[in-house]
């Protein structure tokens, strides 16, 4: 029986319905598929349009980009584009590019001209602002200068190594002879000192000088940083100026590294880039940029004799950084930065602040252990470079002693505290090596002078031994740095001649300090005639040398802050010698004294150096009436008319001591008219003191006891001229 007849239906295999292959009866016929494909043609993807109208965007459908588009036109609705499409035109695009290029070129020219104008206006405006400000405003805007206290005349210390100390001795000698100030209280008030506690400063005595005034804190540069006023070429030039004027003496920085840092800062541009060296493997940190600012400031002050407004602005931009570094970690870069701060203070003639700052730096060196040999093996020192760290430490050591002698205040580091096995710098820095030996002798001279200042006892053997050490040091100076003062070669390199000149003057200066105690009184001069003659001859040699240097080079003109210390010290020695023993020295020293006055005549009346010298002259003026009323050989006293000495009716002009005819200008004159005025008044004083020889020889002036000559007049001089320089 068949399956149909038996009642069974045919069954399908039990497979999954989703996975079994379709049977032939389950597929549509091929003919039907072909007919369907012919009835429905294949659709093509429309061309993509970058910009669609708002309606097509809302419906998220394709738009043909026309205006109106196909859909909006068919629906008869408004077709709106965010930016109406415009037909592309190659001619119009070319015209647009040309117009933009022209505008960009014009803008670039305007930026260049504006940058140049800003650079010029920056300096001119700063100078004019500083000079036009009221005196009280100038005082308030000198935050990094010392404010003169009302009682500073009594509180400021002038040590025995300063020129002011010598001039104090001269003035005190005159006072002990009866030549005293008339109305000293009035004179002190005229100098800006009054009794009482009415304030901390004397505004009437602040002289509005461009060099003295710090730029206002509210002044802004186009970028907020005066560094932007210095182009790349100028920055490279200033680095070389710094190296020639300061770096060659105190190698705390290396010129190749400075030039490389300038390249990193500026790159291929003419002005500094912001941010610095982004994306480069080698980058400048902020401290390196701050160091560059100080390098530029020091170079600018060297070129402008300390009166650069841009230099003051650069320093102002890093003042807070300096304050933070004082209280921060004693890192090598921080020490370098603060050393440059001290050098800058010296360049603007703030030697006391330089001495104070370098003392802090030296203590940071002690903190870091740079005075010990074992510290050189530390990883951080090795990374910075042993030779570089040694040059840094010894430069700081020299600067501390140098400014201690300039200010007359003790130095911070004793030789006994330094590791005797600490290496000295390498041979490629001969000046630094020579100055290290000089500083060690200077430390001994300091102790000798301090001991005399305390006991007033001259130890001749020790004095001669120290003098021999200085002469031995001079003989051991390498030939490349040694100088024959009688045969100066004008064709030698300027930097080399400056180093030789400084070493020659330092040797003279140290020997003058060793022998100067014999000039403290007439009795000492009589007891030590050979030593007295030696110290005066050394002063005369220094004056002649500086005069020759000024006549043959520009070294003195550019470094007056440095060389005027030697000049003023020599003048003080000559003046002291003439005051104590006019019979012996007034004639022999006259030529050199007048040479020095010719240099003083060229002083800028705005410089702090000339202001201190003028203060000395004003101090001497107070004694003028006493000298002018003192007849030398019982001659009638001159009459005073308008502040000048006029002979009596006898008309005898030969025996009257005329001192200060310039007093007719008034005692309120706080600034000299010019250098010639200072020269004239110092000349009058030199001649007046020289005419006192009859008194020193024992001829008592009228009105004095016969025993007046028994006094030793040198001791009180120091208290009278401490504020002169």
> Across residues 346-353, what is the average pLDDT?
89
pLDDT at residue 360, rounded to an integer: 96
Name the token pair of 543: 């004056």
pLDDT at residue 658, rounded to an integer: 40
155 or 203, which is more confident: 155
Question: What is the pLDDT confidence band of residue 562, given thresholds at 50, 70 and 90?
Answer: confident
Task: Write the pLDDT tens digit of every residue in 262-274.
Answer: 999 888 666 666 5
pLDDT at residue 654, rounded to an integer: 37
* CATH superfamily, with its number, for domain 52-82: Zn(2)-C6 fungal-type DNA-binding domain (4.10.240.10)
pLDDT at residue 468 is higher than 50 = yes
349 or 539, which is more confident: 539
User: In this structure, is the dihedral angle defined by the CA atoms of residues 299, 304, 306 and 309, taken in order, positive or negative?
Assistant: negative
Contact 700, 143 (CB under 8 A): no
Look at residue 566 and give its three-state secondary structure.
helix
- In Å, what is the CA distance from 701 to each residue of 179, 292, 295, 647, 696? 11, 63, 59, 18, 10
pLDDT at residue 651 is higher than 90 = no
pLDDT at residue 344, rounded to an integer: 95
Name the token pair of 501: 């000149």
Least confident of 107-116, 462-471, 482-491: 482-491
Q: Of 120-124, 179-183, 543-547, which has the strongest mean pLDDT?
A: 543-547
Of 598, 622, 623, nearest to 679 by C-alpha is 598
Task: Write the pLDDT tens digit of every residue in 136-155.
Answer: 343 344 445 544 433 344 44
Paired sense of beta strands 644-646 and 639-641, if any = antiparallel
Distance CA 725, CA 722 (A): 7
pLDDT at residue 520, rounded to an integer: 85
pLDDT at residue 136, rounded to an integer: 39
> Across residues 562-582, what is the average pLDDT?
84
Question: What is the pLDDT confidence band of residue 633, given thresholds at 50, 70 and 90?
Answer: very low
pLDDT at residue 687, rounded to an integer: 64
For the entire predicted model, the pTM comes to 0.65
Least confident of 33-37, 320-324, 372-376, 555-559: 33-37
Contact 717, 168 (CB under 8 A): yes
Q: What percent of the chain has pLDDT over 70?
A: 57
Residues 6+ away with beta carbon under 8 Å from 79? 53, 55, 67, 68, 69, 72, 73
pLDDT at residue 565, rounded to an integer: 83
Distance CA 120, CA 114 (A): 10
pLDDT at residue 85, rounded to an integer: 54
Residues 6+ away with beta carbon under 8 Å from 711? 176
Name the token pair of 121: 């206006």
pLDDT at residue 100, rounded to an integer: 87
Please, where are the H alpha helices in 54-142? 54-59, 70-75, 90-132, 135-140
Name the token pair of 387: 């030779």
Kindly write down the DSSP assignment for every residue of 378-437, as one continuous string.
SHHHHHH-HHHHHHHHHHHHHHHHHHHHHHT---S--GGGS-TTPPPPPTT-HHHHHHHH
Least confident of 58-67, 170-179, 338-347, 694-703: 694-703
Contact 153, 702 (CB under 8 A): no
Contact 509, 567 (CB under 8 A): no
Name the token pair of 535: 């110290």
Name the token pair of 663: 């007093």
Q: Of 66-75, 184-193, 211-220, 379-388, which has the strongest mean pLDDT?
A: 379-388
pLDDT at residue 522 is higher than 80 = yes
Report the 10 Å Cβ neighbour count for 360: 15
pLDDT at residue 580, rounded to an integer: 82
Q: Is 46 exposed, middle or buried (0-12, 13-18, 19+ CB in 10 A)?
A: exposed
Name the token pair of 62: 């394709």
pLDDT at residue 348 is higher than 50 = yes
pLDDT at residue 686, rounded to an integer: 63
Look at residue 680 and give its three-state secondary structure.
helix
Question: What is the pLDDT confidence band of residue 578, given thresholds at 50, 70 and 90?
Answer: confident
Distance CA 106, CA 75 (A): 51
Residues of the chain with CATH 4.10.240.10: 52-82
Contact 395, 250 (CB under 8 A): yes
Q: What percent of the chain has pLDDT over 90?
A: 29
pLDDT at residue 191, rounded to an integer: 43
Task: Write the pLDDT tens digit of every residue in 637-649.
Answer: 333 333 333 333 3
Name the token pair of 193: 């000192």
pLDDT at residue 372, rounded to an integer: 93
pLDDT at residue 458 is higher than 50 = yes
Task: Write the pLDDT tens digit of every residue in 431-455.
Answer: 999 999 999 999 999 999 888 877 7
pLDDT at residue 2, rounded to an integer: 45
Please, where are the H alpha helices in 476-559? 494-515, 522-527, 529-552, 555-558
Question: What is the pLDDT confidence band of residue 677, given thresholds at 50, 70 and 90?
Answer: low
pLDDT at residue 91 is higher than 70 = no
Least confident of 178-192, 492-506, 587-601: 178-192
Average pLDDT over the chain reads 71
pLDDT at residue 698, rounded to an integer: 39
pLDDT at residue 544 is higher than 90 = yes
């Amino acid at each position: 029986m068949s399956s149909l007849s038996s009642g069974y239906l045919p069954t399908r295999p039990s497979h999954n319905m989703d996975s079994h292959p379709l049977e032939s009866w389950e597929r549509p016929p091929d003919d039907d598929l072909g007919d369907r494909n012919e009835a429905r043609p294949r659709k093509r993807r429309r061309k993509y349009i970058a910009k669609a109208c708002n309606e097509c965007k809302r419906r998220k459908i394709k738009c043909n980009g026309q205006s109106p588009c196909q859909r909006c036109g068919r629906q008869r609705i408004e077709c709106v584009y965010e930016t109406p499409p415009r037909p592309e035109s190659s001619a119009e695009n070319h015209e647009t590019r040309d117009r933009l290029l022209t505008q960009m070129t014009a803008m670039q020219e305007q930026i260049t001209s504006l940058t140049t104008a800003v650079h010029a206006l920056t300096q001119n405006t700063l100078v004019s602002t500083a000079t036009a400000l009221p005196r009280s405003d100038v005082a308030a805007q000198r935050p990094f200068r010392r404010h003169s206290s009302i009682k500073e005349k009594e509180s400021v210390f002038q040590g025995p190594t300063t020129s002011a100390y010598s001039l104090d001795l001269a003035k005190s000698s005159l006072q002990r002879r009866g030549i005293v100030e008339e109305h000293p209280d009035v004179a002190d008030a005229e100098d800006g000192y009054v009794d009482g506690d009415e304030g901390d400063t004397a505004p009437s005595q602040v002289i509005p000088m461009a060099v003295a005034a710090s730029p206002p804190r509210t002044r802004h540069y186009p970028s907020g940083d005066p560094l932007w006023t210095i182009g790349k070429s100028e920055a490279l030039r200033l680095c070389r100026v710094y190296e020639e004027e300061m770096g060659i003496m105190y190698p705390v920085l290396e010129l190749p590294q400075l030039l490389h840092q300038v390249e990193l800062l500026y790159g291929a541009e003419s002005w500094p880039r912001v941010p610095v060296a982004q994306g480069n493997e080698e980058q400048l940190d902020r401290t390196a940029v701050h160091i560059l600012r100080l390098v530029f400031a020091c170079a600018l002050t060297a070129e402008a004799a300390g009166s650069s407004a841009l230099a003051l602005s650069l320093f102002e931009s890093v003042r807070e950084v300096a304050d933070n570094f004082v209280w921060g970690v004693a890192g090598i870069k921080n020490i370098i930065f603060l050393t440059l701060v001290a050098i800058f203070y010296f360049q603007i003639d703030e030697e006391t602040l330089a001495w104070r700052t370098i003392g802090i730096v030296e203590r940071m060196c002690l903190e870091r252990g740079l005075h010990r040999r074992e510290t050189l093996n530390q990883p951080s020192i090795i990374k910075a470079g042993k030779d570089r760290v040694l040059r840094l430490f010894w430069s700081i050591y020299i600067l501390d002693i140098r400014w201690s002698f300039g200010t007359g205040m003790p130095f911070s580091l004793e030789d006994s505290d330094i590791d005797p096995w600490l290496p000295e710098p390498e041979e490629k820095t001969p000046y630094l090596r020579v100055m290290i030996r000089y500083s060690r002798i200077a430390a001994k001279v300091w102790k000798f002078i301090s001991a005399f200042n305390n006991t007033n006892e001259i130890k001749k053997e020790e004095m001669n031994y120290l003098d021999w050490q200085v002469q031995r040091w001079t003989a051991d100076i390498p030939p490349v740095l040694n100088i024959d003062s009688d045969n100066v070669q004008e064709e030698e390199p300027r930097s080399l001649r400056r180093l030789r000149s400084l070493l020659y003057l330092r040797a003279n200066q140290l020997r003058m300090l060793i022998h100067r105690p014999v000039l403290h009184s007439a009795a000492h001069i009589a007891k030590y005639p050979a030593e007295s003659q030696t110290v005066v001859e050394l002063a005369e040699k220094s004056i002649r040398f500086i005069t020759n240097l000024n006549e043959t080079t520009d070294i003195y003109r550019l470094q007056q802050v440095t060389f005027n210390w030697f000049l003023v010290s020599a003048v003080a020695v000559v003046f002291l010698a003439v005051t104590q023993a006019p019979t012996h020295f007034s004639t022999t020293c006259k030529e050199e004294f007048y040479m020095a006055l010719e240099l003083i005549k060229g002083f800028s009346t705005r410089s702090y150096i000339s202001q201190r010298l003028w203060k000395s002259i004003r101090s001497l003026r107070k004694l003028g009436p006493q000298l002018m009323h003192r007849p030398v050989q019982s001659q009638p006293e001159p009459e005073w008319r308008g502040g000048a000495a006029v002979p009596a009716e006898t008309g005898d002009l030969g025996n009257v001591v005329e001192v200060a005819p310039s007093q007719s200008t008034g005692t309120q004159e706080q600034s000299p008219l010019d250098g010639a005025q200072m020269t004239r008044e110092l000349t009058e004083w030199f001649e007046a003191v020289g005419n006192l020889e009859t008194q020193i020889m024992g001829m008592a002036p009228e009105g004095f006891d016969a025993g007046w000559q028994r006094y030793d007049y040198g001791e009180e001089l120091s208290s009278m001229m401490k504020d002169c320089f």
